[in-house]
Chain A
Amino acid sequence: MTHRPYTPWLFLLPGLAVCLMFTIFPFLNMIVLAFTDASALGGGQFTGADNFVRMAQDPKFWVAARNSLLYMVCVVPPLVLLPLLIAVLAQKIVPGIGIFRTAFFTPVIASAVVVGLIWTWLLDSRGLVNSVVEALGGTRIPFLTDSTLLLISSMVVTVWRGLGYYMVIYLAALANVPKDLHEAAMVDGAGPVRRFWSVTVPALRPTMVLIAALSAVNGFRVFSEIYLLSGGTGGPGGASTTMVMLIQSVGRGLTGEVGYASALSFVLFVILLGLLLITLKLNRREDQL
């Protein structure tokens, strides 16, 4: 033992206290509501598993769960790989690199409303892309009004917004790749591509797993992109609704069905926790230092 048994808990105390008090406790409170028929303004009788039975029979839930899952599966690979490539591109100090890095980061800090505006301008029925398509003799593509295309368009926006954000995490992690590994590989005569795969990628594995987990969670929980591109709805007839959109629309406002929304949130949490445990398992080796 290199420390007293309670030392780690002293290190953890502030962080755990904040998480338990301001996230976990309110969350447990919410779980209780999942078993009631609470409305937004109080009330709430214990109704057992009624909300979950209703969910199983609610076609909207299945549509939303399917869309969320699809969304996650599609955005994770590009979000793990593309920002890494950009980070590798942006890691070397060349003149003006600061400007480039900052510019790459602007989508992350741009106001969501503006992001929605510009992508709508690009993709809507009379948008820029469609005028090009029409000029080339094609017919307009319903990027935002077909439920499948709307999902794909939103994924593009999600990936686009994530590039700068995950690039920053990768940049920081790249710094932790021991320099001598690269040098050793160079002595062995490995070219830049080989070194990327045999040195950089293995060294970044914990970060890649973290980013995979983060982008999976955020992908499954997607809300803003679809919301902004579909004018605040889940696409025509609600066919592009995702889990969080469904939760929002059920629980929203003073007329919200809070009990049912809580049940949906709880299920969302359980699904995400399952996903997380899988990634942790994949990451086991790193985990046991």
Chain B
Amino acid sequence: MKRRTFLAGLAALPITSSVAGCGLSSNTASNSSASGQVTGEITFQTWSLKPKYTDYVNGVIDAFQKQHQGTAVKWVDQPADGYLAKVMADASAGSLPDVINVPPDLSFPLARAGQLVNLDESLKDAKPEYLENAWQAFEIPGKGGCYGFPWYLNTGPIFYNKALFQQAGLDPDKPPTNFKELEQQALQLAQKKVAMLGQTPSIADFGLYGVKLFENDKFTFNEPKGVEFVETYKRMYDAGALIPEALTQNYTGAGAKFMAQQTALSPGSAYDLGKFKTDAPSLYANIGITKPITNTGSANMFLHGVSVPKSSKNQATALAFGRFVTNAENQVKFAKLASIFPSTSKGGDDPYFTTEDGSDEARVRVAAAKQLKTAVNYTPVQFSDQMREALLQQLADAMLGKKSPKQALDDAVNECNRLLK
């Protein structure tokens, strides 16, 4: 009855038909080759960029078509809601567009299933054009080969609520700078019944704490340092420094709690500042911005990329276009429009990312750009949605005291390793 779908990306239960299993999709590479002529028509699919960036994308397409006479790029933009379902369906049917916008966690399973073009093989000279850490994010660990042009990057500051800090007698100009201070301040806030955090740690947080996440084809975040990290959270949870909903919250839910001023601190992205301005003006008036909390000296990084499926009938043009979209010039232009950062090796040198003009936005931007030089995409590409859920559930059991932190992490790691196969 209730066929209405909400949050459809998650609601989509993907079932491949046995037809797809028999290889409708995987063996079509032969009729097209990467070294062919750059000409003809291709389709380019992006992740929710209309209508705000319509002019920008059309500009890039026009420039490409001018540079390569005889090419025609058809642009389709898919809403974020349901993107996964769309990619799933197309991948099963072998009808993925020629150039697709995917983050590493989507490109990895596609690449592992042999559905994406290996850029290291097809375009041997492309690699130096990109930041090394960004290029690595699209490699299959241990097997080599890169399966996506890195596109835009993001890293974020930590946002905190100065008013709530003040309310609990904390200095609003001295936010926590390491995990120890985070715990101290969180416990102090908790005494005044103010919650510091809206979420239990994600896998990337473990990375920031310095936990070894993955080694020799196995997850390892149950090492002593990981246990220590969970114990920190357990102490904070018991004191009331995490809202009760933290046990079940995803990133978006935690963000909403921060905007409703129910939590005092939240990791974010440069563009979140704009969101606070429009959706939570009274939070915006009290917003504090600080460096990410890390034990490793590196911040966490998120990125998107552009991949070419092997099923593309016009790989040469698709590859040329993928490289064109992600070249330094186009990326810098896009980054300026969207409060994100270029992944090309020279992109970050643009004065826009190195000089402040006194505004909050510029301060966040310059700090983030600096941060990105050493940033790491801590989330292992193998870390699937199912594994994320397993970690979340085990951490909830640990917080509730149903399991010891050690036991919970052992169970999470075992489940993740099982899912790895």
A234 to B245 Cα, complex, angstroms: 12
Interface string of B366-399 (1 = CB under 8 A from A): 0000000000000000001110010011101101
Given known A32-B18, A40-B109, A253-B88, contact A237–B253 (CB-CB < 8 A): no
Task: Name the one of B13, B110, B112, B392 contacting A248, with C-beta atoms under 8 angstroms.
Answer: B13
Q: Which of B1, B7, B22, B248 has the most CB of A within 10 A?
A: B248
B399: which A residues are within 8 A, CB to CB? 236
Task: Name the one of A33, A224, A237, A252 contacting B12, with C-beta atoms under 8 angstroms.
Answer: A252
CB closest residue in chain B, given A40: B14
Q: Are B248 and A230 in contact (CB under 8 A)?
A: yes
A116 to B244 Cα, complex, angstroms: 17
A237: which B residues are within 8 A, CB to CB? 247, 393-394, 396-397, 400, 402
Interface residues on B, range: 35 or more
Q: Are A218 and B386 in contact (CB under 8 A)?
A: no
Task: Name the one of B21, B253, B397 contacting A42, with C-beta atoms under 8 angstroms.
Answer: B21
CB closest residue in chain B, given A218: B1
Q: Are B21 and A29 in contact (CB under 8 A)?
A: no
A233: which B residues are within 8 A, CB to CB? 248-250, 389, 392-393
Q: Which of B13, B249, B384 has the most CB of A within 10 A?
A: B13
- At the interface, yes or no: A164 with Cβ under 8 Å from chain B? no
Of the stretches A14-22, A173-181, A256-264, the one at the interface is A256-264
CB closest residue in chain B, given A217: B1
Which residues of B10-46 are within 8 A (CB) of A? 10-18, 20-23, 25-26
A262 to B245 Cα, complex, angstroms: 31
CB closest residue in chain B, given A228: B6
- At the interface, yes or no: A126 with Cβ under 8 Å from chain B? yes
A3 to chain B, nearest CB (A): 32
Q: Are A145 and B244 in contact (CB under 8 A)?
A: yes
Q: Are B384 and A42 in contact (CB under 8 A)?
A: no
Q: Are B113 and A42 in contact (CB under 8 A)?
A: yes
A178 to chain B, nearest CB (A): 28
Q: Are A33 and B11 in contact (CB under 8 A)?
A: no
- At the interface, yes or no: A254 with Cβ under 8 Å from chain B? yes
Q: Are A231 and B113 in contact (CB under 8 A)?
A: no
A235: which B residues are within 8 A, CB to CB? 248
CB closest residue in chain A, given B109: A254
Q: Are A252 and B14 in contact (CB under 8 A)?
A: yes
Q: Are A111 and B396 in contact (CB under 8 A)?
A: no
Q: Are A258 and B14 in contact (CB under 8 A)?
A: yes
B4: which A residues are within 8 A, CB to CB? 112
- At the interface, yes or no: B419 with Cβ under 8 Å from chain A? yes
- At the interface, yes or no: B243 with Cβ under 8 Å from chain A? yes
- At the interface, yes or no: A142 with Cβ under 8 Å from chain B? yes
Given known A111-B6, A142-B244, A224-B2, contact A41–B15 (CB-CB < 8 A): no
CB closest residue in chain A, given B87: A254
Task: Name the one of B18, B262, B386 contacting A44, with C-beta atoms under 8 angstroms.
Answer: B18
B402: which A residues are within 8 A, CB to CB? 237
Tally A residues with Cβ within 8 Å of B: 54
B201 to chain A, nearest CB (A): 15
Which residues of A21-56 are within 8 A (CB) of B? 26, 29-30, 32-33, 36, 38-44
Q: Are A145 and B20 in contact (CB under 8 A)?
A: no
- At the interface, yes or no: B91 with Cβ under 8 Å from chain A? yes
A156 to chain B, nearest CB (A): 16
A228 to B383 Cα, complex, angstroms: 24
Given known A145-B248, A261-B13, contact A255–B18 (CB-CB < 8 A): no
Q: Are A232 and B253 in contact (CB under 8 A)?
A: yes
CB closest residue in chain A, given B386: A255
- At the interface, yes or no: B106 with Cβ under 8 Å from chain A? yes
Given known A41-B91, A233-B250, contact A125–B16 (CB-CB < 8 A): no
- At the interface, yes or no: A201 with Cβ under 8 Å from chain B? no
CB closest residue in chain B, given A114: B6
Q: Are A29 and B250 in contact (CB under 8 A)?
A: no
- At the interface, yes or no: B115 with Cβ under 8 Å from chain A? yes
Q: Are A124 and B245 in contact (CB under 8 A)?
A: yes
Q: Are B244 and A231 in contact (CB under 8 A)?
A: no
Q: Are A224 and B6 in contact (CB under 8 A)?
A: yes
Interface string of B73-90 (1 = CB under 8 A from A): 000000000001001100
Q: Are A253 and B84 in contact (CB under 8 A)?
A: yes
Given known A30-B15, A255-B384, A255-B386, contact A231–B7 (CB-CB < 8 A): no
B280 to chain A, nearest CB (A): 15
A111 to chain B, nearest CB (A): 7
A253 to B11 Cα, complex, angstroms: 10
Q: Are A251 and B21 in contact (CB under 8 A)?
A: no
A26: which B residues are within 8 A, CB to CB? 17
B7: which A residues are within 8 A, CB to CB? 113, 227, 232
Interface string of A139-167 (1 = CB under 8 A from B): 00010110000000000000000000100
B10: which A residues are within 8 A, CB to CB? 227, 232, 248, 252
What are the 3 tightest A-B residue pairs by CB atom distance, in nearest-first order? Answer: A255-B384, A41-B113, A112-B6
Q: Could you give 19 example pairs across A and B, Cβ below 8 Å?
A: A26-B17, A29-B18, A125-B243, A144-B244, A144-B245, A218-B1, A227-B10, A236-B247, A236-B248, A237-B247, A237-B393, A237-B396, A248-B11, A253-B84, A253-B384, A255-B386, A256-B386, A261-B13, A265-B15
